[in-house]
């Protein structure tokens, strides 16, 4: 099983909601062993949050019981 989350890298106001929902999902019994892939979308937009900023805000390094990866991307160009 995998959880795939797409983060809007320009939406600094709602990143806290993303964090809250992410940890709720990962705590769910059915997802105990699920891998996690986070797409940091809109990396082409000036002044967006970087992958490092998003990772730090979501505290990804504290996730020990799930394999995870964060990937910069741009849905418009297909990059990432």
pLDDT in tens, the chain (80 residues): 999 999 999 999 999 999 999 999 999 999 999 999 999 999 999 999 999 999 999 999 999 999 999 999 999 999 99
Q: How many CB atoms lie within 10 A of CB 4?
A: 10
Task: State residue 60's pLDDT score.
Answer: 97
* H/E stretch holding 27: helix 15-27
Predicted local distance difference test score (pLDDT) of residue 44 = 96
Q: Which domains does the chain have, with CATH numbers?
A: 1-70 (3.40.50.300)
The pLDDT score that the predictor gives to residue 2 is 93
Task: Sheet containing 68-72: give its strands across.
Answer: 2-8, 35-41, 68-72
Q: Which residues are annotated as a binding site for GTP?
A: 41-44
| Binding-site residue ranges | 41-44
């Amino acid at each position: 099983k995998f959880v795939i989350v797409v983060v809007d890298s320009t939406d600094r106001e709602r990143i806290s909601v993303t964090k809250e929902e992410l940890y709720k999902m990962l705590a769910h019994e059915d997802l105990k062993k699920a891998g996690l892939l986070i797409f940091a979308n809109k990396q082409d937009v000036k002044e967006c949050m970087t992958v490092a900023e998003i990772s730090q805000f979501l505290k990804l390094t504290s996730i020990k019981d799930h394999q995870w990866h964060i990937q910069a991307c741009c849905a418009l160009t297909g990059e990432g």
